[in-house]
Copies of this chain bind each other. A is one copy, B any other.
């Protein structure tokens, strides 16, 4: 089954201690849509400006991503610029130009309205809710968020949480949102606010998945060199959503989510090996399968024979 992905599409300028590149394909929906496309057809809702390179559209179309919901408006595309410090866990935003994204309202084309799987990639929670307002209740809705919305749109985020099946956020955000230092308490507290499942991303430490009386700790793939962490979380969310849409025939089970989280982590681990989405352009199903097996070996202590 296909997955509907809604979020931001950007042109990024990214600087690391080693390299700097400008006008890269970026934005939460770009990473998420491409991540999901390795598992299932994707419908993309977002906005770009007149300056958006045709090459990027060709790349997205080539990944079987339906662009009927992609608005192209007069003006410039959303631009983001960030810099990573020597410790690549630390990032500073250098500039943000919202441009056409400033007044973006996600409007779903008619064929998108009954999408069973929805990934609300990171945008304002009011916009995420606006997407759901247009739809029949989808079978499974995943929302991603960030510290900005916890700070400036907490009520909107709390309202959204009552309408989604799963929230994804990182460890710092989970602590900030709940006021708990324990990530275990934080995960349970967020579940109590609505979503049946919560995934807390911990970067180099992997991620934690919470369900009702169920818990999964997913390891991180041991990468020695990270070239560009941008979009890792979005790619993770996309891989997870795509895996579920492709594999969940009835209600989504915790075991499917375990696998989905591993596949999301596999996709994210590839994505950070190069700038922007470059690594995903050449990624093959065989690459994914090999790294999936590596995840099994690195995290299972009773090895399957």
Contacts and interface: CB of A to CB of B under 8 A. Distances in A.
B223 A184 contact: yes
Interface string A88-118: 1100000000000000000000000000000
Interface string A211-239: 00001111110111110000000000000
A181 B229 CA distance: 14
A249 interface: no
Nearest to A175: B87
Contacts of A182: 204, 223-226
Interface stretch (A53-61, A119-127, A292-300): A292-300
Contacts of A302: 296, 300, 304
Contacts of A304: 302, 304
Interface string A244-277: 0000000000010011011000000000000000
A217 B303 CA distance: 13
Nearest to A296: B302
B205 A301 contact: no
Contacts of A205: 202, 205-206
Interface in A183-198: 183-185, 188
A289 to B, nearest CB: 14
A304 B301 CA distance: 11
Interface of A: 86-89, 181-185, 188, 202, 204-206, 208, 215-220, 222-226, 255, 258-259, 261-262, 295-296, 298-304
- Nearest first, the 7 A-B pairs at minimum CB distance are A217-B219, A205-B205, A258-B301, A87-B181, A184-B222, A300-B300, A184-B224
22 contacts: A86-B181, A87-B181, A89-B181, A182-B224, A184-B222, A184-B223, A188-B224, A202-B205, A205-B205, A206-B217, A215-B222, A216-B299, A217-B298, A218-B301, A219-B219, A255-B303, A259-B301, A262-B301, A296-B301, A299-B299, A300-B302, A302-B304
